[in-house]
Structure 1
Amino acid sequence: MGKDDKEDSGFGFKDKAKAEETLRLLEEHPLNYRRLTVRGLLGRAKRVLSMTKAEDKIKNIKEAMQVFENWLEELDKNKEQKTDKKPEKKEVPKKKEKEDKNGDDQDSSSDSDVEMEEKAKKPELPPDTVPGLGFKDKETADGTLKELEGRDPDYQKLAVKGLIGRAKRVLTCTRDETKLSNIKEAISIFEKFLDDFDSMHLSKQNNPYLSLGIVKTAAKLTENVTEQQQSFIAAYSSVNGEYKRLRTVTAANGEKTWDIVRNAALKELKEKHAEAKLFNDKDEPTTEHLEMMLWAYSPEAAKVKKYVPETKEDKKEDTENKIEDRKRRSSARNDDDSASKKKKE
């Protein structure tokens, strides 16, 4: 990836702040892409250091490199931990293996059926990127900005920067004058959007998501849960707490997606509870605070994570249900066999 592509995407290593912004922008991309990009930026940073004499620039670039190196180190550490936790494969006794092959072990057969059914039932998660975005011409650019309206500000900026980068790459391999003119008009519209975005400090309006587990805990701490909030929590659960996928999950009204509905609701609540106390003397969320937490948001997310436990999925109950289901299958199979024998007799 060339220099222009990196700058178009907003990635860089000018200083510590730029490096942190780069990592935040990269969160929208697959892990392998993020790793390769960070390593590439480190390589470029080292080359720039070898040609730079200004002390302040050297200091800033070194701080940016440290941010990237820490990120890579943390990534490798997490990878090692996952590898260490990988369970060892137990050797199946020959007798048991023979029984499985002969089909005499009905429980094992039943397990296989359940697993196959579970896989068949497992729904595919919706995509996490908004469809219909483009840079073909002025109309397409206007439609793109309309499609991004009301969504998370950070996502809007990232999407537009990505489109500008792609548009500029297309320009280098296009000769048709009409197409060139149309794409340049689209780029101009996007660049104006970014200028307005920065001048109005719209990033401050971003509403970072609390985890699904904390949202479920908040729902248990209050009786004042509206139908709309219940529907939002259900939608958040349906995507397994992967908030980016809410961009393509339509809300109950069938018109807007949940990310847009959430931001609109939070805008009202943030104005309404601007002066409200968020925690009581026992470090418990107040009623006003819980009202925002039900939308997976808190002005003091770090403190919420510290004092509010996450509600975990009840895996024990799920396992018991599967065991009971297997027992019923096995019992039904035995009953059928008995009935068949009696009929023959």
Structure 2
Amino acid sequence: MPHIIDASTFLALRDTGLPVLDARSPSEHARGAIPGALNLPVLDDAQREAVGTLYARSGREAAVHLALQLVGPHLSAMLARAQHLCENRHEVLVHCWRGGMRSGSLAWLLESAGYTVHLLEGGYKAYRAHVRAQLARPARVIVLGGMTGTGKTDILHAMADLGCQVVDLEGLANHRGSAFGSIGLGKQPTNEQFEAALYEVWSRLDHGRPIWMEDESSRIGTVAMCDAFFTHIEHGRLVTVELPLEARVARLVAEYAATGETEAMLHGLERIRKRLGDDAWRRCADALRAGDHTTAVRILLRYYDKAYAHHQAQQPREAVRHIVLERDDPATVARRLAADEDSLAG
């Protein structure tokens, strides 16, 4: 019989190096998976749909018979695939969606071949609940805010290099958080993938020490933070950074002009056309097409600065520190904040 274990124990064993086999279908695995899990579907997407349809129409017994008919001819190939995925390990972690027939069937097959199997109680659904619960854990969060172009991400990266605990939300989301945030970065993770990656970072931090994050909205591009985690940003201690307009313009021009993706920038501009206003949108689009990124950035910053001011006005908290900079120097700011992080965290 397989060992039935909870999500916390399952993940602890994964961290020792045991292979994780996900018995769900390929599309389920692609939508979201336990980091490091290898997909070994008991039923492919079409088969899963057929079994589910029959279950709804004719009940469990008929669905089980169909599943056995579909899986039976492929047991030998499935075992060979499992042996390949697990390499030389003969102890393995297995899960499906709810810890039911699919993971149970795979566990039986592997035990028959001499494997020691640990089965996730409640399956991937229980893992997701565990992730949400852990993301809600109390922490001494400090939120770094400031207008667009102040270099907040670079400051946080410099702080991480100094040994501070930093959660790079934009890095995990693969998006810079604005209408232009996806330029040059490629595809974003799914929401489940984002939360799984966030959990991997969050669960390894010392929650007795300060944890730094950027002041973000609940949505970063196409992914959204769950309420349980976003409350850390809403109620964290706020530190703000102010950089002169010219320095912010120079930073953003260097960051976006270097991508050479004018069409992508125009596409991003279209998304905020209504809020920007037709006149500003037209002047900004003309500047981008002419390669005049400085003018385009100046126009956009008028919009983003107003949006930031509105956001700050809605804040129920005041900054515990406001740093005014004369020049763009993330390393110096990082050293100042790192030296005072305990007092800033309260």
- Same-fold call, TM cutoff 0.5: no
Q: What TM-score do you get using the length of structure 2 for normalisation?
A: 0.27
More helix by share: 1
More strand by share: 2
Bigger Rg, which one = 1
Higher relative contact order (CA 8 A, sep 6+): 2
